[in-house]
Structure 1
Amino acid sequence: VSTFEDDISFNFKTLEQDGVLMHGEGSQGDYITVELKQAQLLLHISLGSSPLHASEGHTTVAVGSLLDDQHWHSLHIERLGHYVNLTLDGEVKRFRCRGTFDQLDLETEVFFGGVIDHDKQHLIYRQNFRGCVENIMFNGVNVAELARHRRPNIRFEGNVGHYCQDQLTTPITFAGINNYVQVQGIPRRNRLAVSFRFRSWDTVGLLLYTGFSDNMGSLEMVLSEGQINISIAQPGKKKLEFAA
């Protein structure tokens, strides 16, 4: 399929930082890939290459950040020849594809949510997407609706369902340096287990502190220059420190 203009849109949400959202390619070196990498969205596109043309056709554009927040994000890609409007959550980034060609030649298959055979698709291995995608529109074709009705031209691989199971998470935002949450402890327990996810623009900060019963020491977890450091102090013993 050769197109001079394209219109692609869908919504997605995930807790994963990396994953292929969409991929399609052709035999003449054309391709388009949308992926998450370190919670940022990347669009890779090439309208083809030829030994007769010295200019490289590959173009990569990055938008957004912290997209692994389990909130819905909307993506819209509009291409007219060399020119592309990439819209993420209402913010538009306009750019011109490199190279001299203005047609996107794709084979019959376009993948959403991952790639079945990376070698066959000439795509360096990337993790497939884990999360929810809805309202997939590809050049006027409602792919999500075709998938819901299990049309024969739609193929499923792996655990794909027509539902979106929300994660039961309750975020807490600490907006200032003097903010904290204090939780009542359970005295005289010989075990302590704590788990949480966090994100921050700061490279330094206290993440967790607790004192042991009967003044038997303390545990401290801090973020220091982007690294997590844990220290355990007990009376009469050398302070135990390690990094993660």
Structure 2
Amino acid sequence: MSLASPPTVVLVHGAFADGSSWSPVTQRLLDQGHRVVAPPVFNRSLSADAAYIRSVVEQIDGPVLLAGHSYGGAVITVAGVAENVIGLVYVSGYALEEGESLGQLQGQFPDSELAAHLIYSSYPVGGETTGTDVSVEIDAFPAIFAAGVEAAEARVLAVSQRPLSATAFGEPATAAAWKTKPGWGIVSSADRTINPDVERYGYRRAGLRSVVEIEAPHLVMRTHPDRVASVITGAIAELS
């Protein structure tokens, strides 16, 4: 295909993280002259998070390449149906089928190490109603979620993690953008947060154009930013 203008790369973070999780990749893409947006994901529900990211995308003038890490993969699967989205890049992410939830996809495979280190807390939804937040045990976070990240930095990430509402685990995806948009995938083969077979299965089912396996932990965009950036720029080159 021939693009009228270079795409904006929208980097979507996952659970227990924020936009800064993409920082090393963001810096590389900016240094190469790409337009980049790394919006917040509020981690309240899949439908609400996808609706917000879609609203961000639709206010961008020109084509958009969406890249989603972890839970962000589920978000771009739904938000990616926006008309100006031209492609999807999954990074250690969930490529859901329409009507499928995170829990259903994960339930087909053995649990990762993360499952035994989740903690639950309540948060106000409105009035006397409460919701349930899911986060990672602070002491376990560096070794499981932030494996491969420098120890001092991992400790900071552990105490600043952004929880994910339990609602998001059981909510089915209302769309599967990979059915109509080309996609690329990165499997973190040393992932202790998501079973790598969950990533492989989702990517294979989605028929992604190419899948790269990296011997890396969950935060591959922090431990191997050059590899991740190259997959994103490679997708841009294919689409141009």
Q: Which has the higher strand share?
A: 1
Structure in which a larger fraction of residues adopt helix: 2
TM-score normalised by the chain length of structure 1 = 0.24
Higher RCO, Cα 8 Å, sep 6+? 2
TM-score (norm 2): 0.24
